[in-house]
Amino acid sequence: MTDFIEPGTGVFVEGAFRHLLTREALRATRYQDFFSVCLLKPDVSAGPGTTEEDTRQGVSKKIAQFLRSTDMVATVEDGIAVLLLHTEGSDAIRVAERIRTHIEQVAFPGEPGGSPRQVTLSVGGVSFPRDGYNDAVLLSRAQAHLEEASKRGGNQVVYAGESRR
């Protein structure tokens, strides 16, 4: 199981997350269930003494501690992915906003001997089956919403046509 989990953070690696997302889409199709996918990216670039990878790992670990044990968090190529089981639409937007607000209030380590730093998140989200019926479509649409959140200045949620700040 350790091949599926990132050491130090306890969150899924990208390959494991994609596999779980594919399985969840098949399961939800069969049982007429629903779920949501959020892609998140820290808005700040790495500061002195930290790397973007350090920031991403720290944020993903905090998100995993904050969410329900049934939700899945993973680090992915350019950010963080969250699979919210049995959550869709306005409920998923509320969860995404809570994640964004929670991370904004965490004091992340800055450079050695320096003061802590604040991290804000851009979030793009979609719901199954409303926004897509397979993992590729869902991830593509979530990525488009994430890019829109970043273009709008970051520190906000763009979710299937709705935006919140």
What are the tokens at 58?
Answer: 């720290």
Domain assignment of residue 2, yes or no: no
CATH number at residue 144: 3.30.70.270
Please report the beta strands in 43-154, taking only residues with DSSP state E, as ranges in sequence order.
Answer: 72-76, 79-85, 121-128
Domain assignment of residue 8, yes or no: no
Please count the structural domains in the chain.
1
State the pTM of this model: 0.91
Domain interval for residue 93: 14-164
The sheet with strand 121-128 has its strands ordered as 72-76, 79-85, 35-42, 121-128, 157-159, 162-164
Domain assignment of residue 74, yes or no: yes
Q: Is cis: bond before 109, omega within 30 of 0?
A: no
- pLDDT tens track, the chain, 165 positions: 458 999 888 999 999 999 999 999 999 999 999 999 999 999 976 556 667 888 899 999 999 999 999 999 999 988 999 999 999 999 999 999 999 999 999 998 877 777 888 999 999 999 999 999 999 999 999 999 999 999 999 999 999 856 444
Domain assignment of residue 9, yes or no: no
Domain assignment of residue 122, yes or no: yes
Domain assignment of residue 5, yes or no: no
Task: Show Cβ contacts of residue 36 under 8 Å, excluding neighbours closer than 6 positions.
Answer: 83, 84, 87, 88, 89, 92, 95, 125, 126, 127, 128
